[in-house]
Structure 1
Amino acid sequence: MNNNLAFTKEASPFINQRLLNHSSVMEQKIYQVAGNVYSAVGFGLQNPLMIEGDDGLIIVDPGESLESSIHIHNEFRKITNKPVKAVIITHFHPDHWGGTKAYITQEQSDSKEVLVIAHESFMKNVSSSNGQLADIRMGRAIWMYGSILPNGEQGVVNEGAGPLLQKGTIQMVTPNTTIKSGGSLELTIAGINMEIFNCPTETDDHLLVFLKDSKLLHVADAIQAEAYPNLYTIRGQNRDAVVWYRGLDKARSYAPHYLTGAHMRPVSGKQECMQLLTDYRDIIQYTHDQTVRLINHGLTPDMIVDALKQLPPHLYHKDRLGEFYGTFSQAIRGIYDTYIGWFDGNPANLNKLSPKEEAIKMVAMMGGREAVLKACQEALDKKEYQWCAQLATYPIRIKRDDMEMRLIKAKAVRYLGYQAENATWRNWYLTCALQLEGAFDAIAKQAGPNGGFPSFSKTIIELPTEYMFESYKTKLNGPESENVHASLKCIIDETRETLILEIRKGVLEIHHNSDFTCDETIIASKETFAEIMAKDITIHDAIKQDRVIVTTPHYIEEFFNYFDNYTSFIHMPFTFE
């Protein structure tokens, strides 16, 4: 029986061979390390860790969804039935905490029956990522992880950092114990002597866990996967390369004899652990330093990518460092953007024509649409897929429903996907092909509302009330409300928390002073507020269902109409620009 969620096969004309080989490291297995530590590899994108103590368990990063975490929890229960004494959440990415309620309840955290440990900025970071950026982060993540693609030869092979991102219910348990930036916590839980310390690497709120007796170091995403790190992730985030490799230097100072990680198989032996930590920090420093060296020569991102081409031989394609998740070229562009920003020094780029205006002029210069179509077909015939995709983009910018051009671009990007060594690039190419062919919407809608993913109201309700409303600021449509001054008192029925929303000429300010004089008041449960904000329910229907108390319904309705809907990934036009 093949216990591997990743696609495995000896060879396929539709899959880059190295990417296909990479699936073999993701076999579903509970690895026992240092006697009492168990790493659940291959059950999803992220590998939960169970540490068995004398009279209880410590769970590190419970998993990405409730459903997948229940499965892993059941596997752990085949090893031991000891109670959970602590949960450690290493950082704010949802694949590390989405399944926490498979192990414990919020009540157990509130009462401190179970220690729930995270960085002090954990809740703020979750709010920023899953609140004000919820639409675009979900949208781009779905493309990056190929979440609507089939699994297999013509779809998702693996995710680079793991076999498959597990869709499902995401539920948070808020921490009861936090660690300050630069700080650490030394404690003994169930007889396990450990140090949990802040180690900024992939994220600033990263926590690493060191077991003193066995010298096991859990690196979480500090070693991001058995792959080149995502210094820039195509779902849209730069990571600080200097912070990351210095964090790995801190990890090296612990001289571990065992390494476990959230997206990798365990490593045993002091020499092997130190070599991996050193290689990983070196690949990051090399990328950073050589990019900055050429920035100082005045080179643009494209010029730097062309000049450096690939990593040096001792790092290029080394075991556990292949470009399956991050890539050297996208890291270079991310580092450039971090230091220099969007302007590459070319004055023609200061005030560019709009993409559509440029496309009209380019197509005319090339002899019109038919000439471009002919050139695209010739490029396809020569297997110049990148050139074909770039050329076809111009006519599509002019007329989005030009299906002949869309289909030729779809063919080009599909072939680029088949050739890609990087899993996330492959997923993006193949998802793009579906959208160009017109199949994207139908496939997404077959999976249910929001493509089978939780509604936005279910996402934001997991945030503390203050953060839920704070994220609403960026939904206010500034141009539509630039002449509006209105206020609304919002009372959460079950807790009596009170927040004042004041729209003031294109800006939403939130007040916590209950004495603030408001134009109107609305009383509802937190769940109802989340549904109103996400526009899952109208004010009219909420009144009909006795879910809100208001005196002037039309005022409330008009107030919330100044805010945008959440944008489903189905409607994000990445393909056409």
Structure 2
Amino acid sequence: MPVPLLLQGLSLALFGGFVATSLAAETPKPATALTASVNAAWNERLPFADQADFQAARRGLIEAFDGVIRDEDGKPAWDLPAYAFLNGKPAPDSVNPSLWRQAQLNNIAGLFQVSERLYQLRGMDLANMNVIEGDTGLIIVDPLLNQATAKAALELYYKHRPRKPVVAVIYTHAHVDHFGGVRGVVDEADVKAGKVRIYAPEGFFEHAISENVMAGPAMSRRAQYMYGAPLPRGERGQVDAGLGKSVPSAGTITLIRPTDVIAQPIERRRIDGIDIEFQLTPGTEAPAEMNLYFPQFRALCMAENAARVQHNILTLRGALVRDPKVWAGYLDQALQRYGDKSDVLFAQHHWPTWGRAEIQTFLADQRDMYAFINSQTLRLLNQGLTPMEIAEKLKTLPPRLANKWYTRDYYGSLSHNVRAVYQRYMGFYDGNPANLNPLPPVEAGQHYVAAMGGADKVLALARESFKQGDYRWVAQLTNHLVFAEPDNKAARELQADALEQLGYQSENATWRNAYLMGANELRNGVSRQPSVGSNAPDLVRSLTPAMFFDYLSVRIDAEKEAGEDLLINWSFSDLKEDYALTLRNGVLTHRDGVLHPQADVSVTMDKELLDRIALKETSFLKQLMVGNISMQGERLKLGRLLGGMDEPDGNFNIVTP
């Protein structure tokens, strides 16, 4: 009766489990004449003659990086040469010129000096790793997503600077691309010995582990669409992720528990001779996040609260909706507190901003952008507009904001961000009773197809709309037909063609990736290849028993277990912790720190052993047989419960039923 693998897709829910090789079996099609025309028109909409960002992105370059980083097993974890097609070329018809420009900027990678004693490793992972030179050692701000890329980045730094030891690591927030490479820059033994301190905002550890636990497998699958990791790199494939190029496709995600928690709204520390003022910003881009100010260098680190994109209020992979009002408030606080005291602003994505006036404008614009999204969505929902109506009405930011490159829709988008604000305040229901209990996709598709006169009629209408360039309608129309008749090859191909053109036209990298992933899977099916890149034993070990039991609860088929009642006492010898679990009405709940007076079954084991079972290093049954797990009572009932849990499907269908 093995305990099911807990973390299928969980450890990398933020970015998905990435398929090792490209999905593409069928060559993507070229841009249509209409798409080429739509994309060409962008050259007149935005100030492409402005080259200031390219100058800023190259400023301080010490050594460019354009190589491949391999993980501990020799697999490519980071492949920047795959994006060489972007270099020095104008945008092709199949890529929105604004996105092409952003993708070219994100190709500028290497070691950069930001200011005195402050260096940045950029383009070696999705995020940046910043190095501050202390009096005796190094302070690392955000050690990237995995061990391989972080180690390679630090080695590039050491190639040009003295090989001082790392004495401190700062996690700015609780997303995995900002802490997952920590073991690539420090040894946990040095942390335990007090040689290295690790700083993080209050709530970091809990959110780093739990944010994606409950819906991990679903988030992982949807993240494949958001980041387009399985897509081929190229003019008709994945070109960028908005925040950076992509995500590492291999390597180990690591985590070392913080030694020092920043808990006050404004907190000052002196670390190896460097003064740092921490500004906590909970509930902004991450549930636990903080900005950093370095008064000696007049340098401000904005974590991921201010990037050279419009960020997400709600990510396409799925997450809790963020609060743009709170976000704008903390940006204003940073502007007020540090705006006139900063000569350089850097962040955990993209390139820095230099100059006090430029920094103040940048922070004010970012503040106004999130405040606009919040206030204008509320204004329109109070007029009775529905989410899609608001998205159609608010097609652009105010002109002064819309013409700034750092407010463009490369990662978040105005369209899906205003719908997220609606969701935050009003929920899923738009107020129209017709939408209160609609038919599910398959049944709705069958009715729509029948009402329009059958599949041939739907296809004829869709083909005519495709010729007219009405790709959004084609995608909606053929979606009904695909769900009504999933084996209708003509419908799948026509929807794929429409999604492909929508992807080619999209300024938003994540929208492009989603459209092209949909087109690819409509043509070629869902890849069933095993995922790579989700090796994260540290995150598994960091699960508390309460988190473990919470995750078990969402794996139980309530209908199947509704008639089975079971009281379980579960004790962890090494932690000296007890838990009382109750299975009743198909629902598993737990009480922490107590035991049932009379349980049906009792389990005693070490938490360390549970971690090994979850990592598939051993099995529950084997450890029970050799005596490392003690069990008394209704062993068969517990065995049936654990052995019969649902296994998440990391490759579930999205564009087909």
Q: Same fold (TM over 0.5)?
A: yes
Q: Hey, what's the Cα distance between the residues in 1 that align with 2:538 and 2:449?
A: 45
- Deviation larger for 214-223 or 2-11: 2-11
Q: How many residues align?
A: 567
The answer (yes or no) to whether the contact 1:127–1:468 under 8 Å persists in 2 is no
1:306–1:513 Cα change, 3 Å: closer
Query: C-alpha deviations, 1:142-170, integer Å up to 9, x for none?
Result: 22111211222222101100112113311
Residue number among 316, 328, 349 corresponding to 1:245 in the alignment = 328
Match of 1:72 in 2: 153
Let me know the Cα RMSD of the aligned residues: 2.5
Question: Partners in 1 of 2:482 and 2:503 — Cα distance?
Answer: 20
Q: Please, which of 3, 9, 32 is the counterpart of residue 113 of structure 2? A: 32
Q: Structure 1 residue 506: deviation in Å?
A: 2.4
8 Å CA contact 2:387–2:418 kept in 1: the answer is yes
Instruction: Give the Cα–Cα distance (whole angstroms) in 2 for the partners of residues 431 and 500 of structure 1.
Output: 44
Please point out which of 404, 408, 412 is paired with 1:318: 404
Q: Which residue of 2 aligns with 1:254?
A: 338
Q: In the TM superposition, what is the alpha-carbon distance from 1:333 to its structure 2 partner?
A: 0.7
Instruction: Report the secondary structure of 2:554's partner residue.
Output: helix
Give how far 1:113 is off.
2.8
**Is structure 2 residue 507 aligned with structure 1 residue 507?**
no
In structure 2, relative to structure 1, the CA distance for the partners of 1:2 and 1:403 (3 Å cut) is farther
Does the 8 Å CA contact 2:605/2:628 hold for their aligned counterparts?
A: yes
Which residue is equivalent to 2:183? 101
Task: Indicate conservation of the 8 Å contact 1:195/1:211, yes or no.
Answer: yes
Corresponding residue of 1:348: 434
Structure 2 residue identity aligned to 1:299: L
What CA distance in whole angstroms lies between the structure 2 residues aligned with 1:371 and 1:532? 55
> Greater CA deviation, 117-126 or 238-247?
117-126
Q: 1:44 aligns with which of 97, 112, 125?
A: 125
Report the secondary structure of 1:220's partner residue: coil
Partner Cα distance (1:100, 1:519) in 2: 43
SS in 2 for 1:208: strand
Residue 20 of structure 1: aligned partner: 100
Given the alignment of the two structures, is residue 365 of structure 1 paired with residue 451 of structure 2, yes or no? yes
* Between 10-19 and 339-348, the greater mean CA deviation after superposition: 10-19
Distance in 1 (CA, whole Å) between partners of 2:648 and 2:608 is 16
1:265 to 1:141, Cα distance in 2 relative to 1, 3 A:
same
1:231 is the counterpart of 2:317: no
Q: Which residue is 1:393 aligned to?
A: 479
Task: From the superposition, tell whether residues 496 and 265 of structure 1 become closer, same or farther in structure 2 (CA, over 3 Å).
Answer: same
Residue 336 of structure 1 deviates from its aligned partner by: 1.0
For residues 536 and 275 of structure 2, what CA distance do their matches in structure 1 show? 41
Shift of 1:544: 6.8
**Code of the aligned partner of 1:70:** K
State how far apart, in whole Å, the 2-side matches of 1:244 and 1:350 are: 31
State yes or no: 1:193 paired with 2:279. Answer: no
* 2:140 match: secondary structure: strand
Q: AA paired with 1:18?
A: S
Contact 1:131 1:460 (8 Å CA) reproduced: no
TM-score relative to the length of structure 1: 0.91
Residues 107 and 70 of structure 1: is their aligned pair in 2 closer, same or farther, counting only changes over 3 Å? same
Partner of 2:641: 559
Structure 2 partner of 1:409: 495
After superposition, the Cα gap between the structure-2 partners of 1:398 and 1:518, relative to the gap in structure 1 and judged at 3 Å, is: same
Q: CA deviation at 1:465?
A: 4.0
Letter in 2 for 1:227: V
- The DSSP-based 3-state class of the residue aligned with 2:246 is coil
Q: Could you give the per-residue CA deviations for residues 460-505 of structure 1, whole angstroms, max 9, x where no partner exists?
A: 3343444333333322322222222213344456656544433222
TM-score of the superposed pair, with normalisation by structure 2: 0.81
Q: Gaps spanning 5+ residues in structure 2: where?
A: 1-63, 67-79
User: Match for residue 245 of structure 2?
Assistant: 163
In 2, Cα distance between equivalents of 1:521 and 1:515 = 9
Query: Does the 8 Å CA contact 1:480/1:562 hold for their aligned counterparts?
Result: no
- State the alpha-carbon separation in 1 of the partners of residues 471 and 553 from structure 2: 42
Q: Percent identity?
A: 31
Q: 1:371 to 1:530 in 2, by over 3 A?
A: farther
1:232 CA drift (Å)? 2.3
Aligned partner (choices 149, 167, 184) of residue 231 of structure 2: 149
CA contact (8 A) 2:281 2:288 kept: yes
Contact 2:125 2:145 in 1 (8 A): yes
CA shift digits 1:226-284 (9 cap, x unpaired): 11121222112321010001010111121222111011201111111111111111111
CA distance in 2, matches of 1:536, 1:404: 47
The unaligned stretches of length 5 or more in structure 1 are none
Tell me the amino acid that sits aligned with residue 174 of structure 1: R
Tell me whether 397-406 or 280-289 shows the greater mean CA deviation.
397-406
How far apart are residue 102 of structure 1 and its match? Answer: 1.0
Q: Residues of 2 paired with 1:290 and 1:216: CA distance? A: 33
- Amino acid in the other structure paired with 1:61: D
1:521–1:458 CA distance, 2 compared to 1 (3 A): farther
Question: Residue 216 of structure 1: which of 273, 280, 299 is its match?
Answer: 299
- 8 Å contact 2:446–2:480 — kept in the other structure? yes
- CA gap of 1:261–1:311, structure 2 versus 1, over 3 A, is same
Alignment of 1:57-136 (within 5 A): 57-78=138-159, 79-136=161-218
TM-aligned CA deviation for residue 515 of structure 1: 4.5
Aligned-pair distance for 1:36?
0.6
Flag the 1:405–1:33 CA change in 2: closer, same or farther, 3 A: same
Query: Structure 1 499/354 Cα, relative in aligned 2: closer, same or farther at 3 Å?
Result: same
SS of 1:118's partner is: strand
Within-5 A mapping of 1:340-489 = 340-442=426-528, 445=529, 449=530, 451-454=531-534, 459-489=539-569
Distance 2:582 2:192 in 1: 32
Deviation at 1:541, TM superposition (A): 5.8
> Aligned pair in 2 of structure 1 residues 296, 534: CA closer, same or farther (>3 Å)?
farther
3-state secondary structure, aligned to 2:491: helix
Match of 2:38 in 1: none
